[in-house]
Amino acid sequence: MQIGVETSRAVANKRIFVVDEDEITRAVLQFMLQDENETHDLASLAAAYDKSREWPPNLLLLGLSLVTANPDLLAEIQRAMPSARVMLVAEAGQDAQAQIYIGHGADAVLTKPLRVEAVRRKVDGLLGLLNQPIVQLSLSAIG
């Protein structure tokens, strides 16, 4: 069931991959975004790379811990998924650490705690979906 989804969003569906070591974070983000986007919860970057060959994502939500464990990861992601924007998902208090990666392969940071409205607004902003015109359907066009 889609809750609070505008008609314009149903037409402008984007593909999002969520990759994080924490499966609860992945599930929460997938749940928050699935109504308005094609959202995939993936347990590893290898799975994301495999899926991106046939279905390239518009956005990759990536756990900060993966980047801090592998400093070359953002460059690797840019080569594997050149059209994807990257938003790092950071724990509360890690925002300053995550901001270091902005401009070095990451486009934005999403800091916990995760709230539906804030997550959707930040994702929409990064994907360029804010302030899109609302699609209006005419009853005469349907019937």
All domains of the chain, ordered by start, with CATH? 14-126 (3.40.50.2300)
Q: Where are the alpha helices (DSSP H) in 35-138?
A: 45-54, 64-69, 73-80, 95-99, 116-127
| pLDDT at residue 97, rounded to an integer | 94
Q: What is the mean pLDDT of residues 78-91?
A: 97
| pLDDT at residue 130, rounded to an integer | 76
| pLDDT at residue 142, rounded to an integer | 43
Alpha-carbon distance 20 to 36, whole Å? 20
| pLDDT at residue 71, rounded to an integer | 85
| pLDDT at residue 137, rounded to an integer | 38
Q: What is the mean pLDDT of residues 103-120?
A: 96
Residue 20 has pLDDT above 50, yes or no: yes
Q: What is the mean pLDDT of residues 85-113?
A: 96
Token digits of residue 128:
């360029």
pLDDT bucket at 79, cuts 50 / 70 / 90: very high
Q: Are 80 and 60 in contact (CB under 8 A)?
A: no
> pLDDT digit string (tens) for 117-128?
999 999 999 999
Q: Percent helix, strand, coil in the chain (nearest 5)? A: 45, 20, 40
Predicted model pTM: 0.83
> What secondary structure letter does DSSP report for 136?
-
Residue 37 has pLDDT above 50, yes or no: yes
Q: Are 38 and 15 in contact (CB under 8 A)?
A: yes
Query: If DSSP states are collapsed to H, E and C, what string results for 12-27?
Result: CCCEEEEECCCHHHHH
Average pLDDT, the chain: 87
